[in-house]
Structure 1
Amino acid sequence: MQRLFLMLSEKDRRRYAGIEAAKLGHGGIEYVSGLFDMDPKTVRRGLVELEVSEDPAPSRIRKKRCGT
């Protein structure tokens, strides 16, 4: 899971974390945020983004930083 996570864009990382948290149910957000070293707010945002039927900015993806 972690290797796949590192290959994803920032937007896809949020959404993937949201999917995994939703699968786990109660306590999933905290578990996934610890697993992927993310802020729990970011995981919650990923969950919200999954509920939206259309991506408001489909082509907008940040470039990865050097060393990442």
Structure 2
Amino acid sequence: MPIRTAVVNREVWGGNRTSAGAKAQGVLMSVFETCRRQALSVVDHLSQTLRWFGNRLLPRPALLPGR
């Protein structure tokens, strides 16, 4: 999905009427697009990230090398 389409959907249909909601959706869309471009599973990445927040002894998931 092109970024512009995501912006239009967020503003017109997405229901984000606060800056916090818009920022959260922007971050999620960025993660979705990065996963798509790297041929990674969004569900797997988000699942690993949520598990890491619950147990910091797990390896921290990263979408970008060296981070």
For the criterion TM > 0.5, the same-fold answer is no
Greater relative contact order (CA < 8 Å, ≥ 6 in sequence): 1
TM-score of the superposed pair, with normalisation by structure 1: 0.35
TM-score of the superposed pair, with normalisation by structure 2: 0.35
